[in-house]
Amino acid sequence: MKKTSFLTRLERLFDSEHKKTKHDIKELKSVLRKLKKKERELCEALALTTNPELAKLYRTELEIIRIHRKKGLAELQTIRSEQRKKS
Amino acid sequence: MQNIFLILSVTLLSVGFWLSNEFKGIAAGVALFLFGMLSLEQGFKAFTGGALERILQKTTNTKLKSLGFGIVATSLMQSSLLMSIITISFLSAGLLDLAAGIGIIFGANLGTSTGAWLIAGFGLKVDIANYALPMLVFGILMIFQSNKKLKGAGYILTGLGFLFLGLDYIKDHFERFKETIDLAEFAMTGTQGLLVFTGVGIAATVIMQSSHATMALLITALAVHQITYENALALAIGSNIGTTITAIIGALGANIDGKRLAGAHLLFNCLTAITALFMLDYFVVVVDIASASLGIAMNDYTLKLAVFHSLFNLAGIVLLFPFISSLVVFLERFIKEQKISIFLPKFLNDSAIEFPETLTESVRLETLHLYDNAVYVILKTFGLHRRDLQDSEQLLHTLMQQENPAEYDIENAYEKRIKGIYSAIIAYISRASFAPEHKPSAKLYWLRDANRHIVEAIKDTKHLQTNWLHFGTSRYRYARNEYQKIAYQIALLIKHIEQFKRNIEADTLPFVSLDTLKAKIEDDDREITRSIETLIRENKITPETGSSLINDSAYMYSIKTNLVKTAETLFLYKPQQLSPEHKLALNETEIKSVVESIHR
C-alpha cells in the first residue's frame, strides 16, 4: 500500500465526520430499499384492486414514493460527491 | 428556620475556631472536601446530556441491569447525589420506570461505598497532598478552556484535588487534635453507644449533606484512634440514613415517581440500617472473615470499616432486591398520586429541567397532553367523543343525526384546557433557554411550533363553530350536508393520526404514511371546493352561504394541516438527530403536484 493511501485510510479511521457520512449513506440506502419494496407491493395491490377509492389511495402513495425515491437518490449523489471532493 | 440554623452554625464554628486551631483545620478540611464534591458533580454534569443518558436508557431495561448501572456509575462518579438527581430527572420525564429507578438507587448505595475504600485504602496510606496540588493547577488550567468536555474534565480534576487536599487537612489536624483532646474518651459501648453514634452519624450527614464527607471524617478519626471501631460502625450506619434526607429534599420538586423513588431510598437505607444494628455482632464476624480473605490486617480498622460499609449495603440489596416489584406496588399504594386536573401541566417539573434529554422529553409529553386536550375540544365542538372515532360509518351516522347541534362553550374550554398548559410549556421552554448549560435546541423550537399549531387549530375550530351552529338546522339542507362533511373530514383525520401514532413502531416508512395524509388533506380541500361551486351553480345554496362555506373549508384545511404538523413533530420526531427520512419528506408544492398528478 502506498504511504499516502495508508495515511488517508488512517485519517479516515479517526475522522468522525467521515464516519457520520458513511452512516448517513447506509441509512439512506436502507430507506431507498424499503421504498423500492413498498413501491413493488403497491403496484401489485393496484393491479388487483377493483375498489376506485383504494385505487386512488394506492396511486397517491405510489406518486409520493416516486418523489421520495427521486429525492433520496439525489441526496445520495450529493453526499457521495461531497465525500469524493473531501478525499 | 434556615436563617436560625445558619446563625447557630456560624456561632458554634466561630467559638470552635477560637478555642482550637485543630478544630479549625478539621473544619477547613471538611469544607475543602465538600467543595471538591461540588466541583466533581459540576464536572460530571458536563458529560451528561450525551453518553451517560444514552447508556442509562440502554442499560436499564431489566432490574439487574439497573442495579449494575447504579453500582458502576456511582463508583465512577463518586456521587450518589448526582446519581439520584439524574435518576429522578429521568423518572420525572418518563424515560425510566420506577422499578428501574429503584434498581439504580440500590446500586448507587453499594457504588458509593467504594468511596470508603478509596479514602481508607488510598487517602490515608499515600501522601495525597502531593497529588492534590498538581491536580488543582492542571484542573484550573482546563476549566479556562472553552471546550465543554475539557472544562468538565477540569472540574473533575479540581474536584479530586480539593477532595485530596481536604482529606489531608482532616488527617493532619485530627492527629494534632489528639494532643489536646482525646475524643476516644467519649467512646460508648453497648446499645447506648450504637444508638448515640448512629444518631451522630445521621446528624453529621444531614448537616454536611454528604455521606462521603462523614465517611472521610470518621475514617480519619478512626485512623488516629480518636474513635473506637465499634462507634465508627454505628457512625457509618448513621451516615447511610442521613444521606436519604438529601435525596428527599431533592425529590420535593419531582413528580410522583420521583417522590416514590425517594421513599424507596429511605426504606432501603432504614431497613438496611436496622438490620445492621440488630445483627452487628454477626456483621463484625463476617467483616473479619472477609477482611482476612482479602488480605487486610486484623488491626487495619479503616479498611475493615470500608468492608463493613460495602457488606451492609450489599446485605440490603440481597434482602430487598427480590422484592422490588412488591416495593413498587407498596409505594404506589402508600404515596398516592393526587388526581391531577386535566387543565394543569402534568410533566413540567423542576427536576426534569436538569438535563437536555429529560427537558425535551418533558416538553414533548406535555405537548402530547395539550394535543389530547385539543382533540377533545375539537371533537366536542362537533358533538363528538373519542369513542365515536372507532368506526368511520358510525362516526358519519352520529354526525348526520345531529339536528340543531348543541353549542359547546369553546371559549371556556380554551381557557380551561388549552391556555394554561400552553402558557406553562412556553414559560418552561423559556426557563430552559435561560439556563447556561442548555443552548435552546432545534428540538425545543419544533416542539414550541407544534404547540403553536395546536392553539391555531383550536382558534380555527372556534371560527368554524359559528356557521356549524347556524347551518346545523334542516332549513339549510345542502349547507348542513357540507358542514357535516367538514366535521367528518376533521374527525376522520384525527382518527387517522391516532392510527398513525399506534402503528408507528410497526410502520417501516412512517413518513410515507404522513405524506399520504397530507396529500389527502389537499385532495379533500379540492373536492369540497368543487362541491360548493356545484351547489352554487345549481342554485342549491345562495352565493352568500357558498362564500361562508368556502371560508369555513379554509378553516378546516388549516385545522387539518396544523394537526398533521403537530403529529409530525410529536410522533415522527427522533431525539437524536434529523434522520435521512426527514430530508425526503415532501414539501407543500410537492404534495400539491402529487394531488394534481392523480387527478390528471
DSSP string of B376-391, one letter each residue = HHHHHHTT--GGGGG-
- Measure A68 CA to nearest chain B CA, in Å: 5
Helix B280-294 with B229-251: angle, nearest 10 deg: 100
Searching chain B, which residue's CA lies closest to the CA of residue A28?
Answer: B580
Q: What count of other Cβ atoms lies within 10 Å of the Cβ of residue B378? A: 27
Instruction: Please answer yes or no on whether A31 and B516 come within 8 Å at the CB atom.
Output: no
Contact B201, B239 (CB under 8 A): yes
pLDDT more than 90, % of chain B: 16
* Contact pairs from chain A to chain B, CB under 8 Å: 54
Task: Please name the residues in contact with B161: beta carbons below 8 A apart, sequence gap of 6 or more.
Answer: B36, B131, B132, B133, B134, B135, B136, B139
pLDDT value for B438? 55
What span, in angstroms and rounded, lies between the C-alpha atoms of A44 and A50? Answer: 12
Cell 433557554, residue located = B433
Residues of B in contact with A75 (CB under 8 A): 580, 583-584
Phi/psi-derived region of residue B78, left when phi > 0, alpha when psi is between -120 and 50, beta in every other case: left
Instruction: Please answer yes or no on whether A72 and B584 come within 8 Å at the CB atom.
Output: yes
Span B529-553, mean pLDDT? 90
Instruction: Please answer yes or no on whether B586 and A64 come within 8 Å at the CB atom.
Output: yes
Query: Which grid cell sits at B310?
Result: 460495602
Residues of A in contact with B523 (CB under 8 A): 60
pLDDT value for B279? 86
Neighbour-count burial of B271, counting CB atoms closer than 10 A to its CB (0-12 exposed, 13-18 middle, 19+ buried):
middle
pLDDT tens track for B134-173: 888 998 888 888 777 788 888 888 988 888 888 777 777 7
pLDDT value for A15? 62
Of the candidates A38, A59, A71, the beta carbon closest to that of B584 is on A71
Instruction: Please answer yes or no on whether A75 and B598 come within 8 Å at the CB atom.
Output: no
**Average pLDDT over all residues of chain B:** 83
Chain A residues within 8 Å of chain B (Cβ atoms):
24, 27-28, 31, 34-35, 38, 56-57, 59-61, 63-65, 67-68, 71-72, 75
Whether B576 has a pLDDT exceeding 60, the answer reads no
Q: Which amino acid is at B31?
A: A
Which has more pLDDT, B58 or B525? Answer: B525
What span, in angstroms and rounded, lies between the C-alpha atoms of A17 and A33? Answer: 24
- Measure B54 CA to nearest chain A CA, in Å: 18
Contact B212, B115 (CB under 8 A): yes
Residue B346, classed as helix, strand or coil, is coil
Most confident of B57-61, B192-196, B564-568, B571-575: B564-568
Instruction: Please answer yes or no on whether A68 and B579 come within 8 Å at the CB atom.
Output: no
pLDDT value for B198? 87
Could you give the C-alpha distances from B541 to A55, B488, B531, in angstroms and in order? 32, 20, 11
Instruction: Please answer yes or no on whether A38 and B509 come within 8 Å at the CB atom.
Output: yes
Residues of B in contact with A71 (CB under 8 A): 583-584
pLDDT value for B436? 55
pLDDT value for B456? 94
Distance of CA B399 to the CA centre of its chain: 43
Instruction: Please answer yes or no on whether B508 and A28 come within 8 Å at the CB atom.
Output: no
Mean pLDDT lowest among B108-122, B171-185, B386-400: B171-185
Could you give the C-alpha distances from B572 to A27, B176, B369, B491, in angstroms and in order? 16, 66, 16, 21
Mean pLDDT lowest among A3-12, B309-318, B345-354, B443-452: A3-12
pLDDT tens track for B250-309: 666 667 887 888 888 888 888 888 888 888 888 888 888 988 888 888 888 888 888 988
- Measure B522 CA to nearest chain A CA, in Å: 11
Mean pLDDT lowest among B9-13, B315-319, B449-453, B572-576: B572-576
What span, in angstroms and rounded, lies between the C-alpha atoms of B70 and B267? Answer: 17
Which has more pLDDT, B396 or B341? Answer: B396
The residue among B153, B152, B76, B170 whose CA lies nearest residue B118 is: B76
Cell 438490620, residue located = B275
Most confident of B102-111, B117-126, B454-463: B454-463
Longest CA–CA span in chain A (Å) reads 65
Span B232-259, mean pLDDT? 79
Distance of CA B544 to the CA centre of its chain: 55
> Residue B389, CB half-sphere, CA atoms under 13 Å: how many?
20
Of the candidates A28, A38, A61, the beta carbon closest to that of B580 is on A28
pLDDT value for B562? 94
Span B512-522, mean pLDDT? 90
Q: Which amino acid is at B411?
A: E
Contact B280, B198 (CB under 8 A): no
Give long-range contacts, CB 8 A cutoff, 24+ apart: B188-197: B188/B231, B189/B230, B193/B230, B193/B231, B193/B234, B194/B230, B194/B234, B194/B277, B194/B280, B195/B234, B196/B234, B197/B231, B197/B232, B197/B234, B197/B235, B197/B238
Residue of A17, A68, A71, A82 to mutate when probing chain B, most B C-beta within 10 A = A68
Could you give the C-alpha distances from B47 to B96, B154, B184, B345, B483, in angstroms and in order? 19, 12, 43, 30, 56
Task: Please name the residues in contact with A84: beta carbons below 8 A apart, sequence gap of 6 or more.
Answer: none
Contact B417, B377 (CB under 8 A): yes
Mean pLDDT lowest among B82-96, B143-157, B201-215, B290-304: B82-96
Mean pLDDT lowest among B209-218, B326-335, B542-551: B209-218
Searching chain A, which residue's CA lies closest to the CA of residue B599?
Answer: A56
Q: What count of other Cβ atoms lies within 10 Å of the Cβ of residue A11? A: 11
What span, in angstroms and rounded, lies between the C-alpha atoms of B576 and B483? Answer: 42
Instruction: Compute the Cα dihedral for B26, B31, B34, B35 and give only its sign.
Output: negative
Task: Please name the residues in contact with B261: beta carbons below 8 A apart, sequence gap of 6 or more.
Answer: B84, B87, B88, B91, B98, B101, B102, B105, B251, B254
Searching chain B, which residue's CA lies closest to the CA of residue A35?
Answer: B509
Contact B46, B152 (CB under 8 A): yes
Residues of B in contact with A56 (CB under 8 A): 598
Whether B373 has a pLDDT exceeding 90, the answer reads yes
pLDDT tens track for B33-49: 888 878 877 777 776 65
Residues of B in contact with A31 (CB under 8 A): 509, 580-581, 584
What span, in angstroms and rounded, lies between the C-alpha atoms of B57 and B355? Answer: 14
Residue of A20, A26, A46, A63 to mutate when probing chain B, most B C-beta within 10 A = A63
What span, in angstroms and rounded, lies between the C-alpha atoms of B237 and B250? Answer: 21
pLDDT value for B440? 54
Whether B463 has a pLDDT exceeding 80, the answer reads yes
pLDDT more than 70, % of chain B: 90
Query: Which grid cell sits at B335?
Result: 404515596
**Binning pLDDT at 50, 70 and 90, where does residue B457 land?**
very high
Instruction: Please answer yes or no on whether B508 and A38 come within 8 Å at the CB atom.
Output: yes
Instruction: Compute the Cα dihedral for B381, B387, B391, B394 and give only its sign.
Output: negative
Q: What H or E segment, with its residue span, contains residue B438? A: none
